Structure 1
Amino acid sequence: MKQKAKEFAEKAHEGQTRKSSGDPYITHPIRVAERLEKSGFSDELVSAGYLHDVVEDTPYEIEDIEEEFGIQVARLVSAHTEDKSKTWQERKQHTIDTVKYAAKDVKYLIVADKLDNLLSIEKEYKLQGDALWDNFNAGYEQQKWYNESIAKNMSTGLGEDEIPDYFREFKNTVKRVFG
């Protein structure tokens, strides 16, 4: 299942690049899936890591994910797919609310994604400086609010033994990037 998800994502994101670095887009979902796999999560969650941006950023629909990978993977991808008809602020508030109240597997997927995004921002900031923020729909202050809100809410409802190491890494990265 994981290999099939990786190949599906590679095909879906073919020709796409990352906003600030210009790297092939697929490098991001691969890193998200690898982080989930390293943390010992299920094949379904790792597969959702590969597929988490497919519905949001390609012509594929959630029904395609369900047909190919089943209801569980589709549920995870759907829970993490933004509605692009909403404003940036509305989309990000929805993600913050989701990470606060969702099932733990959804939290694990969202934070793995947000950590990889933030590590990319940190790396690109060292190369581009403040000009980096011009690549995004929202600038430094809004990105700070968003990432700090994810960090504040991501562990809600989780026991200490249910919090993966990369949640701490996310908190530390938020502190490094946003002070």
Structure 2
Amino acid sequence: MTKEEEAIHNKEYVYRCIPHRAACDREGRLYCRAANAVLENPVYCSYCPCFAGRDGKEQPVCRYYDFPWQEKTDSRTPNQWKKYADGLIGAGLVPVFPDYIIKRDETEESIEQALQFAAEAHKRQVRKGTGIPYIVHPMEVLSILRGMTEDPDILMAGVLHDVLEDTPSGELELEQRFGPRVLKLVKKETEDKRRHLPAKDSWKIRKMEMISQIRREPAELKKIVLADKLSNMRATKRGYDKEGEAIWQRFNVTDPGMHRWYYMTIGEILAELEDTQAYQEYMHLCREIFGQVRSKG
């Protein structure tokens, strides 16, 4: 029995944070440990917080990869790797999201618990118009927030910002697990979806309510909003570069002028964060994407 097998058997699995090539097949599919999914198009790795560059063969290197995969000798396919990981997760031997922190303090442990919770809550969800696992968005929000704050509640709320809005998770569960301040921050970033109405019919009123809400809030919430919207704008820019104007068809409201109004207004509200790198990138992307947009209305 190998050391890894013995550790698994004893429920003492040792997680590693040693960057190495992700498990790809010849067709380019790879097993993504962070999302516990097989990705058909690993080009997305270039935009993932887990990404650590590419090797000499142009295959992605993942810094959160934590299973004992042998780069030169392991012949398992991405689907076989997922089956292996699902078995370990199902047996309670490893968590849904990689436990990648080696030297952990109380703050990092809490953030990791939030990642675990979000990964489970968003399981089987994908980013709109793509096959990208949804959990990558909260991961990116966390990565952006780390450049603006070390406040653990803000970091956790960033990871969890969509769980009330887009998953069955409830307020009581969130408060019991992560505390009242995290719940308050998440609620402030949660839209009233008005699920009794078609999404396109309620879109503008929902966005107006969010704009009104953000105007009243302090910088701690505005940082979460900025990280969320910057992640969205990065995704929109990637889609726009690939699809052009057709990208707007993936949204509930297909008029790009309405999206310009919303994101530029958010930029005005968040101007107190103008000294941050995140805000500067956000406004650059807004100007680049929406500079030539004209409303259909």
Normalised by the shorter chain, which TM-score bucket? over 0.9
Choose between structure 1 and 2 for higher RCO, CA contacts under 8 A separated by at least 6 residues: 1
The counterpart of 1:64, out of the listed 161, 164, 173, is 173
Structure 1, residues 88-119: CA drift from partner, whole Å, max 9, x if none? 11111112122222111111101110110011
Aligned twin of 2:142: 33
Q: Matched residue of 1:2: which SS?
A: helix
**2:287 corresponding residue in structure 1:** 175
Which structure 1 segments of 5+ residues have no match? Answer: none
- 1:7 matched to 2:120? The reply is no
Q: Decide which of 212, 217, 220 is 1:97's aligned counterpart.
A: 212
2:251 aligned partner: 136
The answer to whether structure 1 residue 149 and structure 2 residue 265 are counterparts is yes
Tell me the amino acid that sits aligned with residue 175 of structure 1: R
How do 1:72-83 residues align onto structure 2 when only pairs under 5 Å count? 72-83=181-192
Do 1:21 and 1:124's aligned partners in 2 also have CA atoms closer than 8 Å?
no
CA distance in 2 between counterparts of 1:92 and 1:71 reads 25
Choose between structure 1 and 2: higher helix proportion.
Answer: 1
Q: Which has more radius of gyration? A: 2
Find the residue that maps to 1:22 and give its secondary structure. Answer: coil
- TM-score normalised to structure 1 length: 0.93
SS at match of 1:59: coil
1:166 counterpart residue number? 278
Aligned sequence identity (%): 34
Structure 1 residues 153 and 15: alpha-carbon distance in aligned structure 2, compared to 1, 3 A threshold: same
CA RMSD in angstroms, aligned pairs only: 1.4
Q: Give the whole-Å Cα distance in 2 for the aligned partners of 1:117 and 1:83.
A: 19
Measure, in 2, the Cα distance between the counterparts of 1:111 and 1:124.
20
Match of 2:70 in 1: none
Contact 2:122–2:163 at 8 Å: present in 1 too? yes
TM-aligned CA deviation for residue 54 of structure 1: 0.4
Q: Structure 1 CA distance, aligned partners of 2:228 and 2:150?
A: 14
- For structure 2, the residue ranges without an aligned partner over 5 or more in a row are 1-109, 292-297
Q: Larger strand proportion, structure 1 or 2?
A: 2
Distance of 2:281 and 2:212 partners within structure 1: 21
1-side partners of 2:257 and 2:142: how far apart? 29
Structure 2: distance between partners of 1:100 and 1:168: 19
Tell me how far apart the structure 2 counterparts of residues 63 and 164 of structure 1 sit (CA, whole Å): 34
Q: 1:48 aligns with which of 157, 167, 170?
A: 157
Runs of 4+ in 1 over 2 A off after TM superposition: 38-41
Q: What is the number of equivalent residue pairs in this alignment?
A: 175
**Does the 8 A contact of 2:121 with 2:169 survive in 1?**
yes
| Aligned-residue offset at 1:40 | 2.8
Displacement of 1:159: 7.7
